[in-house]
Amino acid sequence: MDNEAKVIAAVKNGDETAFKQLYHTYADRVFNTALSIMQHHEEAEDITQEVFVQVFRSIVQFKEESSLFTWIYKITVSKCADAQKKHRSQKRFAFITSLFAPDDSLKHDAPHFEHPGMAIEHKEHNKALFTALKQLAPKQQMAFTLHKIEGLSYQQTAEAMNTTTAAVESLLFRANENLRALLSSYYKNNIQDSASSLMSFLLML
């Protein structure tokens, strides 16, 4: 019996120390995944909390057909999908309220996101990437996060997303294509903006 199996068996028996060990093994992975998808610190913390509560509650039903690693990612993906759905309905509601009070639109918008793991020399590129990532379809965003950010294999990503490897490959292909298009227009606008501000500055002189 390897260590993971021992931990699972102990958690199934309600062993709090074993659960703490399991938590510390996976907490950063769960939090990083939730943070990359939701791009909101508090929401990522809430999701991490919910994931581990469910892990503790449902581990009795865990059949060990897949690894604990992918099972925990599966729960994380499901919790993030639920949170995204909730977000979308809130946005729709915000749109309706903004029709009646146009100034309200700003308070529903999420603040600009900065991933805490950004390296200083790549900060601007990372920020642009996360801005574009947020505009992708939820499934493409999840596949990209699990494979590119979390480093899961195609097979592990497929298991976590409850889909096939071929579907993951297709999602990643489309995610890359869309990210290229979004980043391209982002940088184009940035360059045009800086050029026009430089022109107006020169005209003022």
Partner 1 sequence: MKKEINHLVEDSLESVKYLNRAQASPFIYGKVMEQLKAIPEPALVGGAMILRWATLLLVLGMVNAVTLRKIASHTKQTASIQQGVNAIAQEYFEFQQENSYNY
Q: Find all residues with CB under 8 Å of 168, minimum gap 6, and list them.
A: 143, 147, 154, 157, 158, 161
At closest approach, how far in Å is the CB of 173 from partner 1?
13
| 111 binds partner 1 per the rule CB under 8 A | no
Contact flag: residue 137 with partner 1 (CB under 8 A): no
Using an 8 Å Cβ cutoff, are 74 and 160 in contact? yes
Burial label for 112, CB within 10 Å (0-12, 13-18, 19+), is: exposed
CB of 83 to partner 1, least distance (A): 16
Count of residues near partner 1 by CB under 8 A: 41
> Least distance in Å: CB of 116 to partner 1?
5
CA angle 109, 114, 115 (to 5 degrees): 125
Q: Which residue lies nearer to partner 1 by CB, 46 or 169?
A: 46
Give me the least distance between CB of 2 and partner 1, in Å please. Answer: 24
Helices and strands counted in the chain (H then E) = 9, 0
**Piece of the chain touching partner 1 by CB under 8 A; list 62-70, 81-89, 112-120, 196-204:** 112-120
Residues 39-58 that bind partner 1 (CB under 8 A): 44-45, 48-49, 52-53, 56-57
Nearest Cα to 143, choosing from 26, 36, 29? Answer: 36
Instruction: State yes or no: residue 30 binds partner 1 (CB under 8 A).
Output: yes
Distance CA 89, CA 144 (A): 23
> Cα–Cα distance between 43 and 34 in angstroms, integer?
8
Q: Which of residues 140-159 bind partner 1 (CB under 8 A)?
A: 148-149
Task: Give CA–CA dist 80/119, Å, rounded.
Answer: 25
Q: Of 16 and 64, which CB lies nearer to partner 1 in the complex structure?
A: 16
Task: Report the interface residues with partner 1, using CB under 8 A.
Answer: 16, 20, 23-24, 27-32, 35, 44-45, 48-49, 52-53, 56-57, 115-119, 121-122, 125-126, 128-129, 132, 148-149, 176, 179-180, 183-184, 187-188, 191
